[in-house]
Amino acid sequence: MILVHVDHDRGAVDAVSLQALTLARCLDSDVQAVIMGGAEFAPELGEYGASIVHVAEHPGLTDYAPQATARAIVGLINSLAPTAVLGAGTARGNEVLAHVAAMTDLPFAADCTEITLGSPVRVTRARWGGNLLEESTVITTTLFATVFAHAIPAVQSPAAGAVSAFTPELSPADLAVVIIERAGAASAGVTLAEAKVVVSGGRGMGGPESFSLLEDLAGLLGGTVGCSRVVTSAGWRPHAEQVGQTGTKIAPDLYIACGISGATQHLAGCKNSKTLIAINTDPDAPIMQIADYAIVGDVHAVLPQVIALTRAATGA
Amino acid sequence: MEILVCIKRVPLVGSTFILTDDASEIDTRRLGFTLSPHEECAVEAAVQLRDAHGGSVTLLSLGTAETEEQLREQLAIGADRAILAITDGSEPDPQATAAALLEAIRADGAQFDLVLLGSESADVAGYQTGIRLAHALGLPVVTGVKGLTVDAGVARCERAVGSEREVYSVALPAVITVKDGLNIPRYPSVPGRIKARKKEVSTHEVTLAAPRIVKGRLVVPAAAAKGTKVLDANEQGAAALVDVFREIGLLA
Ligand SMILES: Cc1cc2nc3c(=O)[nH]c(=O)nc-3n(C[C@H](O)[C@H](O)[C@H](O)COP(=O)(O)OP(=O)(O)OC[C@H]3O[C@@H](n4cnc5c(N)ncnc54)[C@H](O)[C@@H]3O)c2cc1C
Ligand SMILES: Nc1ncnc2c1ncn2[C@@H]1O[C@H](COP(=O)(O)O)[C@@H](O)[C@H]1O
């Protein structure tokens, strides 16, 4: 049996957790889910292959509590003895499984793209934000792993989805770290992660003033502005706009990289864009090799032309 | 406030990954080494907190003797001293890393109010060293923090979730793992570098446990051959781009 930790947040099941359920179903016919509260999600988890949905019920688990979640899962592991415990390759999924692994002193393989159970257990996992893969064997009694976000699509595979409620034993230390407050979005408008169009600038923009060009084009295309790390570390733009390994990973319909060289750490965040356009003075810049369309030129000359023609086309 | 920051020397990678012939490592002969932005932010946060609250900042790294390069670089931005837990260069897994860091902390003997790490290392990205260390030290841990303030012995930690922020509060002593974007790390100044030469880097020999995640081959995922279309840098090229906008349905 494989146990899958499913995360949910204010009324919605986490999409990557469903991808973890799908991978689990490829490894074992018996897949069970564990969720903190949220019995109402059992039918949906059944659709994605969970035969039983173990629902942890505890007053301390009304909102996300990482160590308490892990403690509840460790309790279930002791009673159910699964061959593997999987979770989502997200901030929360990786955090919970790391706690589980620390509590049980077993290895934890984060961000796996492939898993083969047996002895030995084999995994392929993402390094460097997915730009490099590592093929490893894991020496363990129970495999703890998370599934790299969006590496495999969630596929329905209906099972019973029967609810089994349980009350975990939690200590005050398990509940020492909980969410005390939520701060809303600073500004309205499309967020980087959700935007269909991202117009992004790098060092080649020359300074913060030039980003008004990117704002204009993004505005005309219904998109938002992104940037490289050189730009955030110079203080030209806020970190919320940084695309890449240590910024946000996005997969918009259109990504326009202006004055960005295309370092692997930047590409880790934008290489899944459906269409990629690069504007760069250097024809040999790495971004130009992976772009669908490339213009070899100065952003200050090219962008005003593109903006003028786009504005004319929209009639704005 | 006594602060410990754990930092890791990692290969510098340019536009492509170049591997050694046996595909077990990144070839570092041409580009050298660096630090993760997450950890640069951790050191910057530590220096700012020390300047505001007093105390000192200690750096800790597990690696080969050459790791002194990264430690000196961060001493130059203002950390006070460093501990180098020396390995023979074999790559420990995250479990062995956390155990060796713990051994070095115990051997050093100092007590820390705050232990900072990166959310995930740049190369391995195991997402667990800080959490394992926290459990071993018997301390609470908050991870992936992008906003951090300390007031009266309590840390307020903000974590970004989409465009929103979750706020956690934790009483010190605690372990906190941080992310790029927490602050804008300063560059080392020339006087900073000169001072750093005289700062103490103490070394500890540590024994590494055999890895339980046994690394085999590294593989660079094949990029889809795109067949880039090169457009002119003039009105014609701009018009062609507008056609692309139209094709993908952005313009009527
Ligand atoms: C562990 C780690 C994580 C990292 N994470 C990230 C991350 O999340 N995101 C990220 O972006 N980076 C990240 N980096 C940094 C990354 O390695 C690069 O340094 C960075 O992406 C380069 O930014 P850039 O392309 O803007 O600058 P550069 O590499 O300096 O490129 C500037 C480009 O602009 C072009 N140019 C110059 N002038 C003009 C002009 N007038 N018109 C048109 N083009 C022009 C140049 O030809 C060049 O190609 C990370 C690094 C490390 C070590
Ligand atoms: N060899 C090391 N020396 C010092 N700190 C490390 C080392 N490896 C990992 N860390 C710290 O642990 C964090 C998380 O690493 P990881 O669990 O590998 O993702 C890193 O960002 C570092 O702060």
Cβ A277–B241 below 8 Å, yes or no? yes
- Our count of domains for chain B comes to 1
Whose tokens are 């060289």? That residue is A261
Q: How far apart are CA A295 and CA A299, in angstroms?
A: 9
Smallest Cβ distance to B235: which of A197, A286, A305?
A: A305
Domain assignment of residue B238, yes or no: no
Q: Residue B234: what pLDDT?
A: 87
Smallest Cβ distance to A309: which of B119, B180, B242?
A: B242
Residues A107 and A201 in one domain: no
Summarize pLDDT for B141-181 with one digit per residue, the tens.
999 999 999 999 999 999 988 778 999 999 999 999 999 99
Domain assignment of residue B232, yes or no: no
Residues A228 and A144 in one domain: no
Q: How far apart are CA B132 and CA B139, in angstroms?
A: 10
Residues A147 and A273 in one domain: no
Q: Is the CB of B126 under 6 A from ligand 2?
A: yes
The CATH number assigned to the domain holding B148 equals 3.40.50.620
Domain assignment of residue B157, yes or no: yes
Q: Are A120 and A139 in contact (CB under 8 A)?
A: yes
Q: Are B119 and B178 in contact (CB under 8 A)?
A: yes
Summarize pLDDT for A229-275 with one digit per residue, the tens.
999 999 999 999 999 999 999 999 999 999 999 999 999 999 999 99
The CATH number assigned to the domain holding A205 equals 3.40.50.1220
Residues A146 and A287 in one domain: no
Report cis status (omega within 30 of 0) of the bond before A153: no
Measured between CA atoms, the residue of chain A closest to residue B178 is: A246
Sequence-distant (6+) residues with CB within 8 A of A126 are: A89, A111, A112, A113, A132, A133, A134, A148, A151, B125
- Give percent of chain B with pLDDT exceeding 70: 100
Domain assignment of residue B164, yes or no: yes
A292 burial level (CB within 10 Å; 0-12, 13-18, 19+): middle
Query: Residue A87: which pLDDT band, with cuts at 50, 70 and 90?
Result: very high
* Helix (H) or strand (E) segment spanning residue B217: strand B213-219
Q: Can you read off the two tokens belonging to residue A57?
A: 């019920």
- Picking from B144, B109, B171, B156, the residue whose alpha carbon sits closest to that of residue A98 is B144
B228 burial level (CB within 10 Å; 0-12, 13-18, 19+): middle
Domain assignment of residue A189, yes or no: no
Segment B228-232 shows an average pLDDT of 91
Q: Residue A164: what pLDDT?
A: 98
Domain assignment of residue A246, yes or no: yes
Instruction: State the nearest Cα–Cα gap between B96 and chain A, in angstroms.
Output: 10
Q: Are strands A52-56 and A132-138 parallel, antiparallel or unpaired?
A: unpaired
Domain assignment of residue B231, yes or no: no
Residues A85 and A129 in one domain: yes
Q: Is the CB of B74 under 6 A from ligand 2?
A: no
* Helix (H) or strand (E) segment spanning residue A112: strand A109-116
The parent domain of residue A50 ranges over: 2-175
- Picking from A64, A119, A84, A120, the residue whose alpha carbon sits closest to that of residue A3 is A84
The CATH number assigned to the domain holding A149 equals 3.40.50.620
> What are the backbone dihedrals phi and psi of residue B247, each rounded to the nearest 5 degrees, phi first?
-55, -40
- Our count of domains for chain A comes to 2
User: Is the minimum CB–CB distance between B185 and chain A shorter than 8 Å?
Assistant: yes
Note the helical H segments in chain A. 15-27, 42-47, 66-80, 91-104, 211-220, 229-233, 264-270, 286-290, 299-314
Segment B123-130 shows an average pLDDT of 97
Residues A232 and A97 in one domain: no
pLDDT exceeds cutoff 70 at B4: yes
Domain assignment of residue A182, yes or no: no
Q: Are A41 and A50 in contact (CB under 8 A)?
A: no
In this structure, the residues whose C-beta lies within 6 A of any atom of ligand 1 are A 202-204, 228-231, 242-247, 259-261, 263, 265-266, 269, 279-282, 285, 298-300; B 34, 36-37, 122
Q: Residue B163: what pLDDT?
A: 74
Residues A37 and A144 in one domain: yes
Q: Residue A316: what pLDDT?
A: 65
Segment A224-233 shows an average pLDDT of 97
Query: Residue A280: which pLDDT band, with cuts at 50, 70 and 90?
Result: very high
Cβ B132–A314 below 8 Å, yes or no? no
Domain assignment of residue B193, yes or no: yes
Residue whose CA is closest, atom 4 of ligand 2?
B61
Q: Are strands B154-161 and B147-151 parallel, antiparallel or unpaired?
A: antiparallel
Return the sign of the alpha-carbon dihedral for residues A33, A39, A45, A46: positive
The parent domain of residue B98 ranges over: 2-205
Query: Residue A187: which pLDDT band, with cuts at 50, 70 and 90?
Result: low
Summarize pLDDT for B50-93 with one digit per residue, the tens.
999 999 999 999 999 999 999 999 999 999 999 999 998 889 99
Report cis status (omega within 30 of 0) of the bond before A120: yes
Across all residues in chain A, what is the average pLDDT? 95
Domain assignment of residue A181, yes or no: no
Query: Residue A97: which pLDDT band, with cuts at 50, 70 and 90?
Result: very high
Q: Is the CB of B129 under 6 A from ligand 2?
A: yes
Domain assignment of residue B71, yes or no: yes
For the CA atoms of A29, A54, A75, B144, the dihedral, rounded to the nearest 10 degrees, stands at 90
Q: Can you read off the two tokens belonging to residue B176?
A: 């906190």
Cα–Cα separations (whole angstroms), residue B208 to A229, B102, B104, B211: 34, 11, 11, 8
Segment A50-78 shows an average pLDDT of 97
Counting runs of H as helices and runs of E as strands, what totals does chain A give? Answer: 9, 17
Q: Residue A119: what pLDDT?
A: 87
Q: Residue A185: what pLDDT?
A: 65
Q: Can you read off the two tokens belonging to residue A48?
A: 């994605």
Instruction: State the nearest Cα–Cα gap between A44 and chain B, in angstroms.
Output: 23
Q: How far apart are CA B196 and CA B175, in angstroms?
A: 26
Predicted complex ipTM: 0.95
Q: How far apart are CA A295 and CA A262, in angstroms?
A: 14
Whose tokens are 């605690």? That residue is B174
Cβ A295–B241 below 8 Å, yes or no? yes
Note the helical H segments in chain B. 37-53, 68-76, 94-108, 129-137, 190-198, 235-247
Residues A152 and A248 in one domain: no
pLDDT exceeds cutoff 80 at A190: no
Residues A203 and A144 in one domain: no
